Structure 1
Amino acid sequence: MSQVSQLYKLQLIDTEIREKTLRLREVLQAQKGNKALAAALGRMETAVSDLNSWQTKHKDLSLAFDGLNNKVKSSENRLYSGKVTNTKELTDLQKEIASLGRRRESLEEEVLEAMVMVEDAQGEKDRAEDALSGIQADWDNETASLKKEQNELALRIHALNGKRKSLATTIPAKALTEYQHIAKRKGGVAVAKLRVNQCMVCQVSASSNKVKDAREGKLVTCGSCGRILHPA
């Protein structure tokens, strides 16, 4: 195998290493987070917080209502017990019962409203939980697939690096240095296919002498793009 053929083979390996490494970075990045899952978790946290808040408010209002109800009953029992005989005291007690009654009606409405809000909040929590469960299941499956691909990519890159190292030892140091120098300047593409007399990267025709030298296995560069020419 000519040194140019070796360099072309090396370029194929380097290209695959770059592609696999780029994909590995993408796979690793993809495992760092999921916007849909984050949104579902946020929705769930909000739903739980709202439900707890309304449950607490409903409990507090219910306790206040029970306390007020007991106070009304106590005042009514006192009013109808016959123990209060003073006219002014009776009038004041009746006014107090009426006021407590109005407050009780208002508080009862608040209790009912809070109960409705608890039911709504519970419904939202249930929906958020169902949505989160579905998204979490999808994410778990996706993560498992990404993890599998990650392992496959890592193994392939390791194998390619081994092949590259072995191949590089068979290439003359001067040719390898020139290849690396050109690859650095040309986006990783140091070797271009030469078909008939045309460089297949820049599409410019090479001189007959360069074509002849390239076909003889000599290291020749394209006069236009500067890449090493490899006869197809």
Structure 2
Amino acid sequence: MNADPAAQLRLLDLQALDAQVDQLRHVRANPPQAAEIKDLLGKRADVDGRLRDQRIVVDDLALAQAKADADVEQVKARRTRDRERMDSGAIADPKALERMQQELQSLERRIATLEDEELEVMEQLEEAQSALAELTSAIDELDARLGELTTARDEKAAELDAQIAEVSAGRAAIVADIPDDLLALYEKLRASKGGVAVGALRARQCGGCQLALDAGELAEIRATPADRVVRHEECQRILVRTPESGL
């Protein structure tokens, strides 16, 4: 393949521009906040799962307390009715009155038992609500930190996008100076050579792979016409000859 030496030199400008864009895109794709965001998202998922479980515990205990309260009130209401009957003098039979007194004693014992159970459920509910509050606070703290990191990441991404657009804006002018077949070779090599398709031959070294060329290869390049596109035998990248090539 032949190409004007000036067009070959423009390949170096294009490579420098594309390398800069690649670097900016790499930085954008790997923000410094990424690792912490990933870690926090994992922690948040764990806390959120425990938070859902704790809400169920609180709901169950709230129902249990409501039932305990109702049970106590039901027995107390019965005790009140029995006392009112006794106090009204409606029970004249001594045996019936004795049975009523015994029932009141049983109701008192039942109330004491139910109130103990009610208190136990209340304490369990308070502990569960406290645990729920702690988990909710942990979620809020995680969300706050995630918000800070996400904002910082997105602001930096927008800044990098602007830099990429600014750098890329000059690409069209460079490409216009490069023949289509040479540009096609450049793009093909960029895709297969880790983004580096061309290197300057300076001080007898390939700027693409950084390997030194032996005397025989240098002699062959020296004898090659200036408009001939040269490829490095070792890495197959395009070699652009410059005044610093050492030929």
- Same-fold status (TM-score > 0.5): yes
Name segments (4+ residues, structure 1) moved above 6 Å.
none
For structure 1, which runs of at least 5 residues remain unmatched after alignment?
none
Return the match for 2:147 from 134, 140, 148. 140
Identity %: 24
Question: Once superposed, what is the RMSD of the aligned Cα atoms?
Answer: 3.3
What SS does the corresponding residue of 2:170 show, helix, strand or coil? helix
Aligned match of 2:14: 10
Is residue 162 from structure 1 mapped to residue 169 from structure 2 by the alignment?
yes
Residue ranges of structure 2 left out of the alignment (5+ in a row): none
> What is the CA-CA distance between 1:211 and the residue it aligns to?
4.6
**Where does 1:46-65 land on structure 2 (aligned, <5 Å)?**
46-65=53-72
Q: CA-to-partner distance for each residue in 1:47-97, whole Å, 9 max, x for gaps?
A: 444334433432332132122112123224434654324466445534543
- Residues 55-94 of structure 1: pairs in structure 2 closer than 5 A: 55-79=62-86, 82-86=89-93, 89-90=96-97, 92-94=99-101
Shift of 1:178: 1.4
Instruction: Identify the range of structure 1 (149-158 vs 72-81) with the bigger mean alpha-carbon deviation.
Output: 72-81
Q: Is the 8 Å Cα contact of residues 8 and 178 (structure 2) preserved in structure 1?
A: no
Mapped contact 1:7–1:171 kept (Cα < 8 A): yes
1:88 to 1:154, Cα distance in 2 relative to 1, 3 A: same
The size of the alignment, in residue pairs, is 231
C-alpha displacement of 1:148: 0.5
Q: TM-score, normalised by structure 1?
A: 0.79
SS of the residue 1:229 aligns to: strand
Q: Partners in 1 of 2:139 and 2:71 — Cα distance?
A: 36
TM-score by length of 2: 0.75
Corresponding position: 1:196 with 2:203: yes
Counterpart Cα distance in 2 of 1:100 and 1:204: 102
Q: 1:184 Cα shift?
A: 2.1
Alignment counterpart, residue 21 of structure 1, candidates 20, 25, 28? 25
Aligned residue for 2:236, secondary structure, equals coil
What letter corresponds to residue 21 of structure 1 in structure 2?
Answer: R
